[in-house]
Amino acid sequence: MSAHLRETIADLEAGGEVTRDGLARLLCADESTAQALYSAADRVRKRWAGEEVHLRALLEFSNHCRRNCRYCGLRGDHEALSRYRMRPDEIVRAAVEAGELGYRTVVLQSGEDTWWTSEMLAEVVRQIKSQTPVAVTLSIGERSEEEYRALREAGADRFLLRIETSSPTLYQELHPDSDWSERRARLEVLRRLGYQVGSGVMIGLPGQSPEMLADDLLFLRDLNLDMIGVGPFIPHPNTPLAGEQGGTLQLALRFLACLRLLCPQALIPATTALAALDPDGWERGLCAGADVLMPNLTPSEYKEKYALYPGKVWNDLDATAFRRQVGTIVERVGRRVSSGYGHTRLSAAQCAAPNLTTTSAS
Ligand code: 5AD
Ligand code: SF4
pLDDT by residue (tens digit) across 50-99? 999 999 999 999 999 999 999 999 999 999 999 999 999 999 999 999 99
Atom 3, ligand 1: residue with shortest CA distance: 233
Q: Say which residues have a Cβ less than 8 Å from residue 345's Cβ, sequence separation at least 6.
A: 48, 49, 226, 265, 266, 267
For 194, list phi and psi in degrees, rounded to 5.
95, 10
Instruction: Please tell me the predicted confidence (pLDDT) of residue 354.
Output: 47
Instruction: Please tell me the predicted confidence (pLDDT) of residue 347.
Output: 77
Mean pLDDT within 119-131: 98
Q: What is the DSSP letter of 196?
A: E
Is 147's pLDDT higher than 80?
yes
Q: Which residues form the pocket of ligand 1, taking CB atoms under 6 Å from any ligand atom?
A: 71-72, 162, 164, 202, 231, 233-234, 236, 273, 308-309
Going from the Cα of 138 to the center of ligand 1, the distance in angstroms, rounded, reads: 16
- pLDDT (tens digit per residue) in 10-54: 999 999 999 999 999 999 999 999 999 999 999 999 999 999 999
- pLDDT (tens digit per residue) in 152-196: 999 999 999 999 999 999 999 999 999 999 999 999 999 999 999
Instruction: Please tell me the predicted confidence (pLDDT) of residue 74.
Output: 98
* Tally of CA atoms within 13 A in the half-sphere of 13 that contains its CB: 19
Going from the Cα of 164 to the center of ligand 1, the distance in angstroms, rounded, reads: 8
Mean pLDDT within 354-358: 46
Instruction: Please tell me the predicted confidence (pLDDT) of residue 289.
Output: 98
Mean pLDDT within 225-250: 98
Angle between helices 249-262 and 20-27 (to 10 degrees): 140
Distance in angstroms (rounded) separating the CA atoms of residues 190 and 224:
13
Handedness of CA 208, 211, 212, 217 (dihedral sign): positive
Mean pLDDT within 101-110: 98
Instruction: Please tell me the predicted confidence (pLDDT) of residue 30.
Output: 95
How many other CB atoms sit within 10 Å of the CB of residue 355?
12
Instruction: Please tell me the predicted confidence (pLDDT) of residue 360.
Output: 36
Distance in angstroms (rounded) separating the CA atoms of residues 173 and 208:
12
Going from the Cα of 130 to the center of ligand 2, the distance in angstroms, rounded, reads: 30
Instruction: Please tell me the predicted confidence (pLDDT) of residue 101.
Output: 97
Indicate the pLDDT class of residue 3, thresholds 50, 70 and 90.
confident
* pTM for this model (two decimals): 0.96
Hey, is 192 helix, strand or coil? helix
How many other CB atoms sit within 10 Å of the CB of residue 228?
27
* Tally of CA atoms within 13 A in the half-sphere of 28 that contains its CB: 11
Is 362's pLDDT higher than 60?
no
Angle formed at CA 236 by CA 231 and CA 242, multiple of 5 degrees: 115
Closest atom of ligand 2 to 63 CA is: 8
Instruction: Please tell me the predicted confidence (pLDDT) of residue 359.
Output: 38
For the CA of 277, the nearest ligand: 1
Q: Do 149 and 159 contact (CB within 8 A), yes or no?
A: no
**Which mutation among 308, 309, 313 tests ligand 1's pocket best, with the greatest number of atoms within 8 A of CB?**
308
Distance in angstroms (rounded) separating the CA atoms of residues 186 and 209:
26
Distance in angstroms (rounded) separating the CA atoms of residues 201 and 256:
11
Mean pLDDT, the chain, whole residue set: 95
Distance in angstroms (rounded) separating the CA atoms of residues 259 and 33:
16
Going from the Cα of 136 to the center of ligand 2, the distance in angstroms, rounded, reads: 21
Q: Which residues form the pocket of ligand 2, taking CB atoms under 6 Å from any ligand atom?
A: 65, 67, 69, 72, 74-75, 111-112, 141, 308
Distance in angstroms (rounded) separating the CA atoms of residues 105 and 54:
9
Going from the Cα of 234 to the center of ligand 1, the distance in angstroms, rounded, reads: 8
